[in-house]
Structure 1
Amino acid sequence: MVTPDPRARLLQLASQQGASLSGLSELIGRNSTYLQQFVRKGSPRKLEETDRRTLARFFGVDESELGAPEENSSVGTVTPKRGEWVDVPRLPLGASAGSGALALEEAPIGAFRFSARWLREQGLDPAQLSAIRVEGDSMEGTLRDGDEILVDRSPRPLRDGIHVVRTGDALLVKRLDTSRPGTIALVSDNPAYRTLELPSEDVQVIGRVVWKSGRL
């Protein structure tokens, strides 16, 4: 079996996930240029075990893909044993429940910890989950400004419900109505906001909202 070059593999995974090397460096508690130097200059020569494990868990890959010896590797998204916990990355952006929030930087700034058993019971794949903050009051009654939501990015047939979508550079959290062919209606739960009707091709569905938490 050919062992992948960990530097090239890290770049590939970061590109697929839409994460920056500086953001990933902060995820593992390093300065913002740490992984850039690892990839471009070969310094350090290899990732430390704790850094490698954190990155493997974030990307959902075996540690061997990032340079771990085969006998010491572990898979980031293996089915967890009973009683284990899963860290879901928290992204530093908001899904607007108002007029629209820009979504340009998506490197993680932390994580929410969920019971692996609970995620399995809900049919959720940890590798397809991320947590973001709600901004604005257009979903008031269901979601409040400042709530944290869990977004499931698993590829599934589109159905009505609350989703995070991208329109242009704006990231929105809205209830979707797909009853009209070729059109997606973005519906606000707050009656003070009008429904937005857009051509389907102008709406990129990021994922379905499957959980929320909020301050009392």
Structure 2
Amino acid sequence: MVKHPMKPTSYSYGHSDQVRRRLLELSQERGASLASLSELLGRNTSYLQQFIRKGSPRKLEEGDRKTLARFFGIGEEELGAPSEFPEEKSYNFWAKPAKQSDWIDVERLDIGASAGPGAVPVTEAPFDSFKFSRRWLAEQGLSGAQLSAITVEGDSMDPVLRDGDEILVDRRTQPFRDGVHVVRLGDTLMVKRVAQAGAGRFSLLSQNLAYPPVDVSADEIEMIGRVVWKGGRI
């Protein structure tokens, strides 16, 4: 008797196909490229493109699945995790759109914050927006944050922030604490690590040691907001 090699069941193929479609759908809804999502996972920029288009790897690793699920504010089962209650599982989950109220639009402003010698913003008008999951923002401690997205220009914050990175700035008025902030010095918008340097004074610190610290008094600068997230190409 000739034994035929076992073929995969239609369920295992179909389920993997659903996961790929769902991931592509989520990335398009969010306006996040597959390359940027791959970067979020610490992978090569083509990693998720190959997963969706070529089926390689065949399934997402658990750590990658967890990270993506948190980013999109969804359950891991939508990205291939086993269901706790498989007998009650509906395999049409991928077709269910997220509610509009589950997302927050964050304006992308047509300005750059200098991570170099300094840049004068031309306009502060929004030209586009990102969609962020309310759940993800809450997990990051950003519920109620007043967020805007702007672009980093220059290399003084390299490698923490690179030229062309987009950063989320929380513009809420809140007590100052050391960290990476967007500040206005005269007519110049800058992104720097800001530290207190005594009563009424601050140091604007660059990550790139080629740029010396700049000491300023509190009345010389305006604190625009704290940098709470970044995104960019590898």
Which TM-score tier does this pair reach, normalised by the shorter chain?
Answer: 0.5 to 0.7
Residue by residue, what CA displacement relative to the aligned partner does 1:126-151 show, whole Å, maximum 9, x if unpaired? Answer: 66100000000000020000000000
Instruction: Verify the 8 A CA contact 1:93 1:133 in the aligned structure 2.
Output: yes
Aligned match of 1:130: 148
Letter in 2 for 1:130: S
Aligned match of 2:179: 161
Matched, 1:190 2:211: no
Residue by residue, what CA displacement relative to the aligned partner does 1:50-87 show, whole Å, maximum 9, x if unpaired? Answer: xxxxxxxxxxxxxxxxxxxxxxxxxxxxxx97981111
Matched, 1:112 2:136: no
Instruction: Verify the 8 A CA contact 1:101 1:171 in the aligned structure 2.
Output: yes
Matched, 1:141 2:141: no
Aligned match of 1:203: 221
Flag structure 2 segments of 5+ consecutive residues without an equivalent.
1-97
Q: How does 1:1-216 map to 2 (within 5 A)?
A: 84-125=102-143, 128-216=146-234
Q: 1:130, 1:162 → 2: CA distance? A: 15
Letter in 2 for 1:121: E
Q: Secondary structure at the match of 1:201?
A: helix
Instruction: Verify the 8 A CA contact 1:104 1:169 in the aligned structure 2.
Output: no
Instruction: Verify the 8 A CA contact 1:161 1:177 in the aligned structure 2.
Output: yes
Under a length normalisation based on structure 2, what TM-score does the superposition of the two structures give?
Answer: 0.56
Letter in 2 for 1:166: R
Q: 2:100, 2:148 → 1: CA distance? A: 22
Letter in 2 for 1:96: S
- How large is the Cα RMSD of the aligned pairs? 1.9
Q: 2:149, 2:141 → 1: CA distance? A: 17
Residue by residue, what CA displacement relative to the aligned partner does 1:32-61 show, whole Å, maximum 9, x if unpaired? Answer: xxxxxxxxxxxxxxxxxxxxxxxxxxxxxx
Instruction: Verify the 8 A CA contact 2:193 2:204 in the aligned structure 1.
Output: yes
Q: Percent identity?
A: 57
- Give the ranges of 4+ consecutive aligned residues of structure 1 lying more than 4 Å apart after TM superposition: 80-83
Shift of 1:103: 2.0
Flag structure 1 segments of 5+ consecutive residues without an equivalent.
1-79
What is the total number of aligned residue pairs between the two structures? 137
Shift of 1:113: 1.2
Under a length normalisation based on structure 1, what TM-score does the superposition of the two structures give?
Answer: 0.60
Q: 1:153, 1:127 → 2: CA distance? A: 7
Shift of 1:208: 0.2
Aligned match of 1:28: none
